[in-house]
Amino acid sequence: MYCMPAPKSQKILLETFNAVLPPAVFIEKRRRHGSPCALVNGNLFAAIHQNTMILRLSTEEKKDYEKEAGRPMDAYEPFEDVMLKGFVAVPEGLLADRDSLARWVRKAFDYAASLPGRRK
């Protein structure tokens, strides 16, 4: 199921993205497909795709995330027939709550940091 994200201010989304990244020296910021993303040990943990922020969560964290969001979260589908398993889209309500969002971004960072490092 391919869903076009609801339009929102790209500037506000970018500001939110940068504001909620953990203050870790191990974070590598890059651009993929023209949009910002954050990696640790070569593993992507947070990114913006089009007008949607996405996070990489463990299976256990994803269940907690679904409870907080109040609905099941399918794997993120950036393009038709392309699924990013382990990634979830951040709902509008969570984008507005920077404290909660920062907590989830930190969990995404911790999970990605626990994975084997990837070579550049």
| Res. 33 pLDDT band, cuts 50 70 90 | confident
5 SS3 class: coil
pLDDT of residue 84: 63
- pTM of the predicted structure, to 2 decimals: 0.81
Nearest to 15 by CA among 103, 106, 95: 95
Q: Which residues pair with 31 in a beta bridge?
A: 36
Residue 1 makes CB contacts below 8 A (sequence gap 6+) with: 74, 77
Higher pLDDT, 68 or 80: 68
Tell the residue number behind the tokens 């869903």, with chain if given: 3
Provide φ and ψ at 40, rounded to 5°: -135, 130
Does 23 score more than 90 pLDDT?
Answer: no
CATH of the domain spanning 10-114: 3.30.1460.30
